[in-house]
Chains A and B, each alone.
Chain A
Amino acid sequence: MTILVIAEHDNSHLKVATRNTVAAAAKMGGDVHVLVAGSGAQVVADQASKVAGVAKVLLADAPHLAEGLAENVAAQVLAVAQNYSHILFPATASGKNVAPRVAARLDVAQVSDIIAVDSPDTFQHPIYAGNAIATVQSSDPIKVITVRTTGFDAVSEQGGQAVIETLAAEADSGLSSFVGREVAQNDRPELTAAKIVVSGGRGMGSAENFKILDPLADKLGAALGASRAAVDAGYAPNDWQVGQTGKIVAPQLYVAIGISGAIQHLAGMKDSKVIVAINKDAEAPIFGVADYGLVADLFQAVPELVKAL
């Protein structure tokens, strides 16, 4: 049994999501190989070879693999797929993009977003936005899986001594091409990867008022989020939306401010380690999931909190 983990990287750094995925692979048993598909990505392969528990790194390097196009990356994975019992992708935007393409070509089902490994063929994953956990068994010869990174602690980036093997790059599909990228211009961490998230809800009252969360987020090094109510009211951009139809987060600390705690919102954040709720309505459902609740007017409590930190 040998497991292939598809590396998440930007051609210069191996992203931590890869190490979370190696941790999931380790729970299945067997050798773990890592595939680095990229352009000028030798440095990434070097980093992957040092990751604890990795036996071999496969490097496919070609200009058309630079931007992680699904068609080209999937072809690269398929070229070696038959050597493996499991193919694991981190459940990131890029992993989710490519994994089903690989699964369909292999004519196997995919298990999405696993949060636990019960055995090499049995996995747990959330459904209904985390309101239920399904335990599923796969009888497919190759198991294609995406791994929810917040479900597994990353293995160490040191300690491994994997050999690096170079693969011949598959041909460019020619079906799609990369045009450009717009990287979000803020110093704040990315919402789904942030250790701390500060979110505002309808209680913020206006887009203007939402700005009082900025100093708090800055102090905590937190990402900013919002409830669907706040997004629908135009108080916050909709890529901030945390919830069933938005982003699902599981940070160390989630601070919900002026958020009542509708089901739709809770589904996106209730796996956070510690939840703090600040709301003036003591009956708000958010207090039912909060570890620490403060019944207070947010317009007083937030500036006070900034000062106290």
Chain B
Amino acid sequence: MKVLVPVKRVVDFNVKVRVKSDQSGVDIANVKMSMNPFDEIALEEAMRLKEKGLVAEVVAVSCGVAQCQETLRTAMAIGADRAVLVQTDVALQPLAVAKLLRALVDKEQPQLVILGKQAIDDDANQTGQMLAALLSWPQATFASKVELAGDTVAVTREVDGGLETLSLKLPAIITTDLRLNEPRYVTLPNIMKAKKKTLDTITPEALGVDVTPRLKTLKVSEPPARSAGVTVPDVAALVEKLKNEAKVI
């Protein structure tokens, strides 16, 4: 069977982003971009299913600007068989991405779509669920274990206070949590091989999807700064401050 893995190009998680002085957004010019960490986990899981012989083909997809090609090359260096870029300069919101992915699912007919649970830029945590809704497929979000068996998939999910296991009928949507696996490193020979793999480009118009943003961002501001703290000389002083000044213990 075929697995689709959507990947997003985001500001690298080690970069401290700065808000633009005109409050129109964060400044992402000239900062390092990488694949969203949760998407690396999604791709790793797809590769492991392929290596177990349960999956025949892994297709990576990204939606966004032309530079998302780099992210897709990384995905193919990790092991994706081929890639599709839905290219647009419009700032895409999760609902638009979910609609683009639905159109691709209709074309590609995968049995499983594995996404990251959220992107570390907009922190929305919506796309997988929205895609499941649009397709009327079952969903298992925040996955920490995935077991494919026949026409069902058992997924253990990280929920508040523990774990729960669901069984989904295929085709299905899974979103990954941190604990699912440890993504492999990309090796140089694989980077070279990835250059030869197929990367198709398509537009939202060709897929018949309206990607106009629905939410209007009025401003983006700095979070309130914390007031400067004090250094205490010893443990006794610390306990005294916590009890009497901060009153938190």
Contacts and interface: CB of A to CB of B under 8 A. Distances in A.
Interface of A: 67, 69-71, 74, 92-94, 96-105, 107-113, 122, 125-140, 173-184, 190, 192-193, 196, 220, 238-239, 241, 244-246, 252-253, 263-264, 270-271, 273-276, 287, 289-296, 301, 304-305, 308-309
Give the interface SS of chain A, mostly helix, strand, loop or mixed. Answer: mixed
Interface in B138-163: 138-142, 154, 157-163
Interface in B148-203: 154, 157-169, 172, 178-179
Nearest to B41: A245
Contacts of A253: 242, 246, 248-249
Contacts of B133: 74, 100-105
Given A104-B129, A274-B248, A292-B246, 20 more contacts: A70-B129, A70-B139, A92-B160, A93-B159, A94-B160, A103-B95, A110-B126, A122-B218, A127-B121, A129-B120, A129-B123, A130-B223, A131-B26, A181-B162, A182-B163, A193-B160, A273-B248, A276-B238, A296-B234, A309-B239
B166 A112 contact: no
Given A244-B13, A289-B226, A132 B19 contact: yes
B160 A112 contact: no
A177 B168 CA distance: 7
A2 B132 CA distance: 28
5 contacts: A93-B158, A132-B26, A176-B138, A294-B231, A305-B239
Given A126-B223, A264-B13, A292 B167 contact: no
A219 B162 CA distance: 23
Given A273-B248, A301-B235, A264 B226 contact: no
Contacts of B159: 93-94
Instruction: Report the contact-size class of chain B (Cβ under 8 Å from the partner).
Output: 35 or more
B130 interface: yes
A257 B11 CA distance: 28
Nearest to B153: A176
B95 A104 contact: yes
A154 to B, nearest CB: 16
Give the interface SS of chain B, mostly helix, strand, loop or mixed. Answer: mixed
A295 to B, nearest CB: 7
Interface of B: 11, 13-17, 19, 26, 37-38, 93-95, 98, 120-134, 136-142, 154, 157-169, 172, 178-179, 213-223, 226-227, 229-232, 234-236, 238-239, 241-242, 246, 248-249
Contacts of B127: 100
Contact of B163 (A181, A275, A276): A181
B161 A190 contact: yes
A94 B129 CA distance: 12
B161 A183 contact: yes
A238 B176 CA distance: 14
A89 to B, nearest CB: 11
A140 B214 contact: yes
A132 B235 contact: no
B98 A178 contact: no
B67 to A, nearest CB: 19
A206 B62 CA distance: 39
A133 B238 contact: no
B221 A133 contact: yes
A274 B242 CA distance: 9
A241 B13 CA distance: 15
